[in-house]
Amino acid sequence: MNYLISILTGVVLSIMVVLNGDLGNATGNYISSVIIHFVGLIGIIILLVVTKSKIKNLKGIPFYMFSGGLIGILTVLFTNISFTNLGVSLTVSLALLGQLVTSIVIDHFGYFDLVINKFEKKKIIGLGIIILGIFIMTL
């Protein structure tokens, strides 16, 4: 099930890049980011009400854990900027390469108090194929 959800995440991300990029072209990247995040806020509020979810006590949660919102804003801005010049497939491919490399580093060193999953040399083959694919896409 988690594999299917991850694949669906990729589908949704690709659609999001197109919609956000087009909105960015129509309104400007900063205004579109405000609109996108406002609509997301309204959407999650509706979801919280419908599911009758309760907000838990936020005390004791380190402040840095709330930085995901800032990262979300940067993600929208960066993809909006890239989308116009690179198109959807190259924007998403390069973003996924960045995610892959970053996740390998996080896993290898166990950052954010995660279980350490050491980098194995066989992963170089996968990375190489991905980089080759991106290179071929740029030709």
Q: Quick one: pLDDT at residue 16?
A: 96
Q: Answer yes or no: is pLDDT of 119 > 90.
A: yes
Per-domain residue ranges of the chain: 1-86, 87-138
pLDDT tens across 32-87, in order?
Answer: 999 999 999 999 999 999 999 988 888 888 888 889 999 999 999 999 999 999 99
Q: Quick one: pLDDT at residue 27?
A: 97
Please report how many Cα atoms fall inside a 13 Å half-sphere around the Cα of residue 78, on the Cβ side. 11
Q: What are 90's two structure tokens?
A: 């190259």
Enumerate residues 6+ apart whose C-beta is below 8 A from 123: 104
Q: How confident is the model at residue 107 (pLDDT cuts 50, 70, 90)?
A: very high
